[in-house]
Amino acid sequence: MALRTPLYPEHHRLNARFVTFAGWEMPLHYGSQLDEHQAVRRNAGMFDVSHMGQIDVDGPDAKPLLRRLLANDVAKLKTVGKALYTCLLNESGGILDDLIVYLRGPGSYRLVVNAATTAKDFAWLREHAQGGDVEIRHRDELAMIAVQGPQARALALGCLPPEIASFAAELEPFSATQCGSWLVGRTGYTGEDGLEIILPATDATELWRSLHAAGIQPCGLGARDTLRLEAGLNLYGQDMDETTTPFDCGLEWTIAWEPAERAFIGRPTLEAQRIAPRRWAFVGLVLLVDGVMRAGQRVWAEDQAIGIITSGGFAPTLNRSIALARVAPSSGPDCAVEIRGKRLPAQIVKPPLVRHGRILLEL
C-alpha cells in the first residue's frame, strides 16, 4: 500500500500505532488513546487528517453546479471564507457523502470530503459538470492538520505564518481565512473549538513539529472517534451511507428547502419523506451497566427489536459506553442493547452528550 500521508516519518518518530483506513495507513494512537482523548477535552490535541479529500470547484458555473448537487444551499455563503456543512445526495436522496464547503472567492469553492469517498465524489462532480464553465481539481498535494481543544487556538496561532495568524485569530465559527496555498478554518469535529489547517504537504511536517513543541498533543484516529461520538457527530460509512437519507440519520437540518424552485438532486424523494411518517428516529444511547456498545448491535424494547446501533464505544469523558442508533420513532427512553447474546439495560438520550468540555448527559 502506498503511504501518502506527508507526516508518516514524523508518526514513526512518535511511535504511532498504525491502522489501515480508507486506503491509507493512519495513526490509531501515539501510545494512549485515553490520554489523547483527555488532552483534547482539557487542553489541546492535533490530528493528521491529510487523508481527507480536498476538491476545488471554480468557474462561472461553480455556484449553479453546487446548488444542484448539494442538499444545503451554497447561496447562503455571502462572505468569502464562510463554510457550510452539507450532504451530497444521489437521485433517491441517499447520502453519497457528507462534507464541508468553503467559499474561497466569487465562483470559487473548496470541498473537504471523506477519504473513502474522495474518488467517488470527484467523479460525481465531474460527471454533472460536463458542458459547464467550471474547473474541478483534486488537490492531493495538500495536507491537513486539525488542532482541537479549549487551548487549541491560543497554542496554534503562534505556529502559523504571521501573514495568516492575525486573520486566523479573528475567525468566527464555521469560517476560514486563506493566504496563498494555506487555508485555516474553524469548524471542528470533536465538540471542542479549534482550527483546521490546510497547507502544502511539503510544509506539513515542519508545522506538526512546531505545534508539538508548543505543547499540543498528537492524537490518532481512536481519540478522534471517541470525541466525535461524545459530540453526537455522524461518521460516514457507519451512521450514514447511500442507503440512508438525511432524515434517517438526524441530518434533516442540513437540507435547505428554500427557495422552493432549487431543484437539487434527491429533492423529490426528500420532499415525499418530509411529509410521510418517519421511518426512524436517530438517537443517542447510554448503557446503564458495564459493557461496550458497538455498531450492528440490536436495540430492544421489552421483547421487540426497535432498532440498531450505528456507532458505539466507550466514552472516556463520561466513563461509560454510549452509542448512536436508529430506532422506531415512537420508542420511549427505556430500552436494552443485545451484547454477546445478553440484553443489557440502556437509555435513549438526545445527542450531543459532551460539547465544549461540558457534560450534557442527564440520567
- At position 200, the amino acid (one-letter code) is P
Q: Which fold has domain 1-275?
A: Gyrase A; domain 2 (3.30.1360)
Q: What is the mean pLDDT of residues 317-335?
A: 96
**Any idea where the domains of the chain sit in the sequence?**
1-275, 277-359
If you average pLDDT over every residue of the chain, what do you get?
Answer: 95
pLDDT for 3 beyond 60? no
Long-range contacts of 208-211 (CB under 8 A, 24+ apart): 208/7, 208/10, 208/46, 208/48, 208/145, 209/10, 210/159, 211/46, 211/145, 211/147, 211/155, 211/156, 211/159
pLDDT for 8 beyond 80? no
Question: Model pTM greater than 0.85?
Answer: yes
pLDDT in tens, 78-109: 999 999 999 999 999 999 999 999 999 999 99
pLDDT for 6 beyond 70? no
Q: Are 1-275 and 277-359 equal in CATH topology?
A: no
Q: Which helix (H) or strand (E) holds 69?
A: helix 62-69
- Among candidate residues 339, 323, 171, the one with its CA nearest the CA of residue 238: 323
- Residue pair 75/257 in contact (Cβ under 8 Å)? The answer is no
Q: Which of 16-20, 242-246, 334-338 has the lowest mean pLDDT?
A: 16-20
Q: What is the mean pLDDT of residues 116-132?
A: 97
- Residue pair 230/358 in contact (Cβ under 8 Å)? The answer is no
pLDDT in tens, 144-194: 999 999 999 999 999 999 999 999 999 999 999 999 999 999 999 999 999
198 band by pLDDT with thresholds 50, 70 and 90? very high
Q: Which three cell numbers stand for residue 271?
A: 420532499
pLDDT for 57 beyond 70? yes
- Residue pair 140/182 in contact (Cβ under 8 Å)? The answer is no
From CA 73, how far away is CA 254, in angstroms rounded?
9
Q: Which three cell numbers stand for residue 304?
A: 421487540
pLDDT in tens, 268-324: 999 999 999 999 999 999 999 999 999 999 999 999 999 999 999 999 999 999 999
Which pLDDT score, from 0 to 100, does residue 192 have?
Answer: 97
Q: Which three cell numbers stand for residue 71?
A: 442538499
pLDDT in tens, 10-36: 887 788 998 888 888 889 999 999 999
* Edge-first strand listing for the sheet containing 83-89: 83-89, 95-105, 108-113, 53-58, 135-138
Helix/strand/coil percentages in the chain, nearest 5:
25, 35, 40
pLDDT for 2 beyond 80? no
> What percent of the chain has a predicted confidence (pLDDT) above 70?
98
Q: Which fold has domain 277-359?
A: Elongation Factor Tu (Ef-tu); domain 3 (2.40.30)
Query: How crowded is the C-beta side of 291, counted as CA atoms within 13 Å?
Result: 20
Number of neighbouring beta carbons within 10 Å of residue 157: 18
pLDDT for 74 beyond 90? yes
209 band by pLDDT with thresholds 50, 70 and 90? very high
